[in-house]
Chain A
């Protein structure tokens, strides 16, 4: 006999850990989003209707503040103006009031507003002590969107913890019995179109952020270089996936849906498109286990899906353009093959992997999943 307390609590602890952890991210993200985007945006919008008042720059300097993370700078420009005969001084340059790591940027602002310069400030009619020298947003407003990443990550971690725990403790019911017999067309797990679209979308988003925004910021050069290198790699992946759209497409058809451990299975395959470009094609029978794995180190937790092939054997190999249009083969599912199974946090799946080699071109690489049933489990 063995104890099980620790295991049982393992599932529950995920929710106790992930929900508070995610909520910290969520709240911090919402707080930063409010401070860096919502508040400045509201102030900017309000300032659009504030009256313009002539003013004079009294002092202008770059202020620095140092912390363990480094030194940040901001422009401190003090302007004097009059409203209804009363004199006021305003110190706010823009709606953001944030410090950044760039000295150059703020030095340029200070140079633009030397002491004694006649300027225009925008004054809050309800509170004349409140004024803005610059009521435009520009790229600073985009910085305010960054905390949304924390909001999304926090919400995702919380949802993952709640849904995952609910799934792992739900009352389990076996799959209903009964499967139709007859041939089955296998579907590719990820179509080349979906792959190309997905990678292209990621490449556009990443490179749009990096080259359209990061490179205009004052981030260190090394930091920019790393992000740019990742962007180039993703773009190369997108080009690779787009070129693969021109590849011949395999279609697989099994003669039966009733596949059990030990079954002999008959498969018809065809290749559409320019099959003559293929130099070699292999079909492999693969068994794969996948599981959601949560790793905790320090105060951090990371959950990711891991995959491992426990069975991978070629069942067919063909070379030469003549025989690469269509064919038929038989293969056997191992007698001790664990049937396909999908739990809440793991999956056992069987698939046929098609690999096609094309000289100086992206290869054909597609997986087709089928189900191996438990004997007696279905009829």
Chain B
């Protein structure tokens, strides 16, 4: 059995206004108890531009059980918004990681209800 991580957000679809709270639960099931498990809210760039990635907020649990869940609530900063330009695209995500297992859930942070296209 391989390690399994799953993020469930409390909102579907994952579209938020800047400043809102992104909440949800992280579930994991591992062969052996991991040393630590963490979950973070981050934004990254895509597109022609050089990569840039930043962590806006993070929680972590040290020495968790081999299976369990962790609730989180991150407040989205007011900027940057999710947008897509010809040179750069800014994407918000919730990322969870434990050892080699990793999962990413994209979300949108925009007052228009959708990623802004430049």
B residues near A4, Cβ cutoff 8 Å? 44, 93, 95, 102, 104
Most buried by A among B81, B87, B104: B87
- Chain B residues with CB under 8 Å of A294's CB are 50
Interchain CB contact under 8 A, B43 and A339: no
Residues of chain A within 8 A of B79, CB atoms compared: 174-175, 339, 341, 374, 377
| B83 part of interface (Cβ distance < 8 Å) | yes
Contacts A346-B52, A376-B18; A291 near B44 (Cβ below 8 A): no
Over the window 25-47 of chain B, the binary record of Cβ atoms lying under 8 Å from chain A Cβ atoms (1 yes, 0 no) is: 00000000000000000011111
Count, A-B residue pairs, CB within 8 A = 122
Instruction: Please name all residues of chain A whose beta carbon is closer than 8 Å to the beta carbon of B106 when the two chains form the complex.
Output: 1-2
Establish whether residues A345 and B86, one from each chain, have CB atoms under 8 Å apart when the complex forms: no
With A14-B50, A287-B118, A346-B52 given, is the CB distance from A338 to B81 under 8 Å?
A: yes
- How far apart are the CA atoms of A250 and B23 in the complex, in Å? 50
Query: Is B105 an interface position by the 8 A CB rule?
Result: yes
How far, in whole Å, are A325 and B113 apart by their CA atoms in the complex?
44
**What does the 1/0 interface line of A299-342 toward B look like (CB < 8 Å)?**
00001001010110000000000000000000000001011010
Tell yes or no: B66 within 8 A of A by CB.
no
Q: Nearest chain-B residue to A172 (Cβ)?
A: B54
Contact A293 B49 (CB under 8 A): yes
* B48 in the interface (beta carbon within 8 A): yes
A338 and B83: CB pair below 8 A? yes
Do A174 and B77 touch (CB < 8 A)? yes
- Complex CA gap A291/B49 in Å reads 5
The residues of B that contact A377 with a CB separation of less than 8 Å are 18-19, 77-79
Instruction: Assess whether A169 is interfacial by the CB under 8 Å rule.
Output: yes
Instruction: Decide yes or no whether B99 CB sits under 8 A from chain A.
Output: no
Question: Cβ of A168 and Cβ of B53 under 8 Å apart?
Answer: yes
Whether the Cβ atoms of B85 and A336 lie closer than 8 Å is no
Establish whether residues B80 and A343, one from each chain, have CB atoms under 8 Å apart when the complex forms: yes
Main secondary structure of the interface of A (DSSP, over half): mixed
Known: A11-B52, A303-B50, A375-B78. A346 touches B45 (CB 8 A): yes
Q: Which residues of A contact B43 (CB under 8 A)?
A: 172
Question: Separation in Å of the B20 CB from the closest CB of chain A?
Answer: 10
* A293–B104 CB distance below 8 A: no
Number of residues of chain B lying within 8 A (CB) of chain A: 38
Q: Are A374 and B50 in contact (CB under 8 A)?
A: no
Residues of B within 8 A of A85 (CB): none
Assess whether B67 is interfacial by the CB under 8 Å rule: no
Q: A4-B93, A168-B50, A292-B49 are in contact. Are A376 and B78 (CB under 8 A)?
A: yes
Which residues 278-292 of A have a CB within 8 angstroms of B?
Answer: 287, 289-292
Which chain B residues lie closer than 8 Å to A175 at the CB level?
79
The one of A167, A170, A291, A376 in contact with B88, judged by C-beta atoms closer than 8 angstroms, is A291
Task: State how many angstroms separate the Cβ of B108 from the closest Cβ of chain A.
Answer: 13
* A306→B45 contact, CB < 8 A: no
Decide if A8 touches B87 in the complex (CB within 8 Å): no
B45 touching A170, Cβ below 8 Å:
no
Q: How far is the CA of A247 from the CA of B113 in the complex (A)?
A: 46
- Flag whether B116 is at the interface (Cβ < 8 A): yes
- How many Å lie between the Cα of A377 and that of B56 in the bound state? 14
Query: How far apart sit A167 and B87, CA to CA, in the bound complex (Å)?
Result: 18
Chain B residue at minimal CB-CB distance from A307: B87
Determine if B52 and A308 form an interchain contact, defined as CB atoms under 8 angstroms apart.
no
The 0/1 profile, CB within 8 Å of A marked 1, for residues 48-66 of chain B is 1111111110000000000
Q: Which of these, A10, A169, A293, A374, contacts B87 with CB under 8 Å?
A: A293
Q: How many angstroms between the C-alpha atoms of A273 and B46 in the bound complex?
A: 46
| Complex Cα spacing A316 to B80, Å | 30
Interface centre among B18, B46, B49, B102 (most CB of A within 10 A): B49
4 smallest beta-carbon distances between A and B, as pairs: A172-B54, A377-B78, A291-B49, A310-B118
Subset of 22 A-B contacts with CB under 8 Å? A3-B104, A11-B51, A164-B50, A168-B50, A174-B78, A287-B118, A289-B118, A291-B48, A291-B87, A292-B50, A310-B86, A310-B118, A336-B112, A338-B116, A343-B52, A344-B52, A345-B52, A346-B87, A374-B78, A375-B78, A375-B111, A376-B18
A positions within 8 Å CB-CB of B:
1-5, 7-8, 10-11, 14, 164, 167-172, 174-175, 261, 287, 289-294, 303, 306, 308, 310-311, 336, 338-339, 341, 343-346, 348, 374-377
B interface list, Cβ under 8 A from A: 7, 18-19, 43-56, 77-81, 83, 85-88, 93, 95, 102-106, 111-112, 116, 118
9 further contact pairs, Cβ within 8 A, besides A310-B118, A345-B50: A4-B93, A7-B51, A308-B87, A310-B85, A338-B118, A345-B45, A346-B87, A374-B18, A374-B79
